[in-house]
Every structure is written in structure tokens, then in C-alpha cells.
Structure 1
Amino acid sequence: MKIALIGYGKMGKEIEQIAIDRGHEIGLIIDQENQNDLIPDKLKDIDVAIEFTNPKSAFDNYQICFEANVPVVSGTTGWLDKIDLVKERCQSGNGFFYASNFSLGVNLFFELNKKLAKLMAPFSEYNADMEEIHHIHKLDSPSGTAITLAEGIIENHPRKTKWIEAASTKEDELSIFAKRHGAVPGTHSITWHSEVDEINIQHLAYSRKGFALGAVLAAEFMPKKKGFFGMKDLLNL
């Protein structure tokens, strides 16, 4: 399989190594120095593009890949205000795979979070909040993973209707505390607390390798596929 890497930072380099180790070819690398090389003509022999850039450029990158009929795997977060436009393109025959986090462990954690929120719903004495910690270069806050976790709680707990990135005393609001420290790959903690005890679940990433492997697995899943996909499709969750 021939892969285009759009974004060649630490994550892009990790993805490159795993892709090569799994027998794939990197046919095109797009970084800050050669952004003008991302044109349909240079994508014509590409089977799938893996996109890890930033919220400002991601949507435009998708459009160029769609124009070349190249499916996209994206882990960029912070662009979801345009997700309906991407889904429209998928309905027209393009292929797109999005995950706020490609880690197998995180996606199992998403399901655990939903299950716990559902279990806690009858017990009004418990309230929840969330903390997420990432490296200082993380551009969006809260993280896409934290937002996915928050949405999982809201979908499964009738007293939570929205999240805010601040401390809140309102019963319907889920507080997210986002911190940026050093080179932390990603830590997410959800705590349900009452006057007498608390229940805490946490996912702690040790490195980017788990995220990169998930992105390559998604790329292997996508060639010739049309539609909008995510980790639930890949993992049959």
C-alpha cells in the first residue's frame, strides 16, 4: 500500500516507521516546508492519506485528497465545526476515517466511560468531572479525546447536558480541567465523587506508538472504501 503522510512532526515520523515495518511504502510526505506539493496530481498513485496537522489546515487538506479520490485517515482535532461538510463529501463517494484518538486502549476506555456513566445515572449523590493532561505543544484545549469522553457521559447520563472547560457547580454541566505539561503524551481521568467516596477511571499513554499503530491500522482498513468511518468500525466495538 502506498501512503501519503500529511504532517511530518513527531506523530508523522512514528507513523512512517510503523508503516514501513508493516511493509507499506511512503509515497508522499507533506510538511510545513512543502505544503504546496499537496495537489491532486501528486496524489494520483496514493492508496490512502494519513493526516495529522492542525485545526487550521486540516479541512483544506481533506478537500484536496477528496478531489484526488484518495481516502483520508485523520487524527487532527479541533476542526469538528466542519464535520457535517466532510460527511456530505463522504455521501458523494469519498472515504474518510476520523478518530480523536487512535489508541486501542483509549477506545476501550471510551466504552468503559459510557458504561460507567450509565451505571451512575440512578445515583444523584454522585457528580462527575474530568481532567486531561497533554504536552505543551498540544494546540486544542480540551483535547479531542476529552471531548469524546464528555460526549459519552452526556449521551448516557440524563443529568449531564453539556461540558465546560472550567469548574462548575451546576448539576447539568460536566467540568473539564485541561492541563499542559512537559512532554506528556496524554492522560485522561474521570472521577465520580460523592460526600463519602469516589470512583476514578484513568487512561495514561506512555508514548505515541499506540496512537501511530492505530492510525496505520485505520489506513489498512480504508483503501477503496466510501463513507465516514471511525474506530468502532475498525475494532467492531
Structure 2
Amino acid sequence: MNIAIIGYGKMGKTIEKIAKIRNHKISLCYDATPSPFLLKNSDVAIEFSQPNSAFNNIKICIENELPVVCGTTGWLEKLEMIKKICIKKNGSFLYSSNFSIGMNLFFEINKKLSKLLFPYSENYEVQIEEIHHKEKIDKPSGTAISLAQDIINNNIKKTWTLDNKKTKNNISIISKRCQNDVSGIHTVLYESKIENIEIKHKAHNRDGFAFGAVIASEWIKNKKGFFSMKDVLKIS
């Protein structure tokens, strides 16, 4: 399969490495919005760019009938527009805030825990902490927002706030950016006067994200529609 990589930073380079290990060819490595001419020899695009360019990158792929897998976060206010374009053009698009297979299982554990705790939710304050390298632009991470939204969807809390003020009605998201090359640490903490319940996912490097993105690109080929990693991993 010929893969176009849009966004050739650290993630893009890791995706290139993993794709080659899986015997794919890299048809394009590009750090700007590509023209249709540049995309013509590709079977699928994997987009890991910047929040301000993701929408245009995805749009041009869909408009040129190229399936696209996107892991860029920080632009989701335009996600519904992409869904409409995808439907209108009968395109192929897959988005995930995190392509790690382990993290996608962690999402399911988080949802299950929040459902189990729902009858007792007033007794617990909820905090999500996410730690990344200093170059990560969006804050909080898309993964942390996804974790918070899954808890909110189970009616355990009303909203999330980006601060250190823990309340019974809100989820407090703590975002930390450090000098070391941290690929991502996410911790969900339920705290009460009598006990703490904590679940944690730590990525040791970017290989897990890249592997998931390549797996998703293999899966989406010859499919039409709007998808997520739940579809790839067959999570109901």
C-alpha cells in the first residue's frame, strides 16, 4: 500500500518507520497542505500535522477520493464540518485522539469505571492529569478531553475545567508540559474521604501511536464513511 504522510514531525517519522516495517511504501512525506497532484499516487493518507492546518489537509484528501486517517488534536470544533464533507463526497475518514491500542482499551476501562461509580458519584471528586513534552501545542490533550467526555456522557459529572480545583460537579484536568521527551502519561483519579481509585496509562514512546495509525490505514482502505479506532478494534 502507498501511504502519504502529511505532517513530517516526530510522529510522521515514526509512522514512516512502522509503515516500512509492515512492508508499505511511502509515496509522500509532506509538512504542508498537499496539492491533488502530490496525492495522486497514494492509497491512503495519514495526517499528523498542526491544529491550524489539519482541516484543510483532511478536506483536500476527501475531495480527491483519498482515504485519510487523522490523529491531529486541537481542531475538533471543525470536526462536524469534516463529517458533512465526508458524507457529501462519499469519502473515507477516520479520526482518533489517540491511536495507541492500549489507550483505546484504557478508554473502555475508563467508561466502565465511570458507569460503575455513577450511583456513588457525589462521593468522589474526579481529576485527570496529562503529561507531555513541551512541544505539544494543544492543552489539555485530546486524549484527556476524550477521557473527560466519556465520564460526562455517563452523567457522573457536569463538565470539565482546566485547573486544579477539584469539585464534586466538575472534572479537573491538570496539564503538564515537561522538558523530557514524554510521549504521554494519562491518569484518572477518583478521590473520596475514604479511598482513592486510580487508573493510569503511560506511553513509553511514539511507536504505539504510529502502529495504531498504520493499522487504521490498512483497515480503512476500500471503505466509505466516518470511522474511529472503535471500528478498527471492533469495540462495541
5 Å-filtered alignment, 1:96-135, equals: 96-123=93-120, 124-135=122-133
State whether residues 19 and 25 of structure 1, in contact with CA within 8 Å, keep that contact through their aligned partners in structure 2.
yes
Distance 1:57 1:159 in 2: 35
**Cα separation, 1, equivalents of 2:41 and 2:85:** 21
Q: Counterpart of 2:97 in 1: which secondary structure?
A: coil
Structure 2: gaps of 5 or more residues: none
Q: Is the 8 A contact 1:130 1:188 kept in 2?
A: yes
Distance across 2 between alignment mates of 1:79 and 1:60: 11
The alignment-based identity, stated in percent, is 51
Q: 1:49 aligns with which of 33, 45, 51?
A: 45
- RMSD, aligned α-carbons: 1.1
1:222 maps onto 2:220 in alignment = yes
Query: Which residue does the alignment assign to 2:165?
Result: 168
Listed as ranges, the matches of 1:18-57 within 5 Å are 18-31=18-31, 35=32, 38-57=34-53
Q: Which runs of 5+ in 1 are unaligned?
A: none
Instruction: Tell me if structure 2 keeps the 8 A contact 1:131–1:177.
Output: yes
Name 1:201's counterpart in structure 2.
199
Which residue does 1:59 correspond to in 2? 55
Number of residues paired by the alignment? 232
**Structure 1 residue 167: deviation in Å?**
2.6
- Displacement after TM superposition at 1:67 (Å): 2.1
Corresponding residue for 1:10?
10
Q: Is the 8 Å Cα contact of residues 95 and 227 (structure 2) preserved in structure 1?
A: yes
Contact 2:73–2:142 at 8 Å: present in 1 too? yes
C-alpha contact (below 8 Å) 1:41/1:68 kept by paired residues: no
Whether the 8 Å CA contact 2:125–2:166 is kept in 1: the answer is no
Q: TM-score, with normalisation over the residues of structure 1? A: 0.95
Task: Extract structure 1 runs of 4+ deviating beyond 3 A.
Answer: none
- Aligned residue type for 2:17: Q
Q: Which amino acid aligns with 1:174?
A: I
In the alignment, the residues of structure 1 paired with residue 194 and residue 212 of structure 2 have an alpha-carbon distance, to the nearest angstrom, of 39
Q: Which residue of 1 aligns with 2:152?
A: 154
Cα distance between partner residues in 2 of 1:47 and 1:137: 30
Residue 80 of structure 1 pairs with residue 39 of structure 2: no
CA contact 1:159–1:171 (8 Å) conserved in 2: no
Q: CA deviation at 1:169?
A: 4.7
SS in 2 for 1:59: helix
Normalised by the size of structure 2, how large is the TM-score? 0.95
SS of residue matched to 2:119 = coil
**1:32-75: CA deviations, max 9, x gaps?**
xxx36x11122122110000001000001111112211011010
1:14–1:169 CA distance, 2 compared to 1 (3 A)? closer
